[in-house]
Amino acid sequence: MTVYPLGLILTGRNVLVVGGGHVAQRRVPALLEAGAVVTVVSPSLTPALEALPVTWVKRGFEPSDLDGQWFVHVATQRPEVNAAVSAAAEERRVFCVRADDRTQATAWTPAVTRHGPVTVAVLSGGDPRRSMALRDAIHAGLESDTLEPAAHGDKPRGVALVGAGPGDPELITVKGRRLLAQADVVVADRLASGLFLEGLRPEVELIDAAKVPYGRQLKQEAINEILVDRALEGKFVVRLKGGDPYIFGRGGEELIACAEAGVPVTVVPGVTSAISVPALAGIPVTHRGVTHEFTVVSGHIPPAHPDSLIDWAALGRMRGTLVLLMAVENLAAIAAELISHGRDPQTPTAVIQEGTTVREQVFRGTLATAATLGAQPPAIVVIGEVVNILNQDH
């Protein structure tokens, strides 16, 4: 059978789904993402479907349910119901997808992958496994930039502030990796893994922003100027930042500089090290019955410094988890300040050095001993009972 491939514009148009089980649960989100007005006819729905913005008709299918519909997706486990929907749809000239019997359908659902503005749909003559395998191969090619991801007219403009995640190159977001593959210029921090940069095209200009702790670094004003200048030259610039651009990353300053120069900015959030690094080291920052809160604090200046904006007295009194970033150099002073304001010196404390990378080291102790454990930056400090909770439980 030869099929005619087509992309449906469903925005604001009525679509019917018959069945409220797991097949429907997989199909409805894509219909909603396409802007369809979805009605589900079924005596029951899965909890996930109940939470979606659909109209639920709580009963079995009736042929009149198809009146006014542009498209119907049949997803019940009862062949006689599916056949009845197919017959009613055929009579009304409404295209019908059947999850149980493709040969009785008037439309097929392809295996789909999306890459920015590009949508690829694969049909393999009724062989869904082959369709999915081809879809996955195409997706891998788009992700690795071995396939052209978009027409030149669709190339991003301006500057993208991309969070690279905590260090493991697999923890960057899909959108972040896609924009990185399309960059003309990459301005990268030291904390953004060098493995991201190996796959850049040879002609990409790579600018090292350094940001070495307590060492050399490109001043923020110079970084802002580079972003603006390269973007105004018509180049697409990716500012690749460790963690998330807006968590102690000065991404807001870079956005302001670009906006004042009329340069469009795309912000791509990153997996923040404050949560991910402890998690992968076996430390959840919250745990039922242990803590209902966690606080993330920058420790790049000591508590007594006149520029400090932190209420250390309040942090000393809190019972929840305290996560410190950029705090290794000032850890002794921070620990003393917390203890002086009531935090128990024996509070479990962990310092996770170069988390999520092959060089990760985890140092465990107490708040009183944390500064003596020998950790070096970059490192995340976690203070609280959660530090040992998984060790105790497992």
Write out the catalytic residue numbers. Answer: 189, 211
Place of tokens 């939470």: 51
Q: Could you tell me if 154 and 169 are in contact, meaning their C-beta atoms sit under 8 angstroms apart?
A: no
DSSP state of 9: -
CA distance 83 to 104: 8
DSSP state of 21: S
Name 165's bridge partners.
243
Query: In angstroms, what CA-CA distances link 279 with 216, 317, 352?
Result: 30, 25, 11
**Alpha-helix residue ranges (DSSP H) falling in the chain:** 22-33, 47-50, 79-92, 128-143, 174-181, 220-232, 251-260, 273-280, 312-317, 331-340, 389-393
Residue 334 CB neighbours (<10 A): 26
Token pair, residue 72, equals 């119907």
Q: Return the axis-axis angle of helices 128-143 and 174-181, rounded to nearest 10°.
A: 60
CA distance 124 to 256: 49
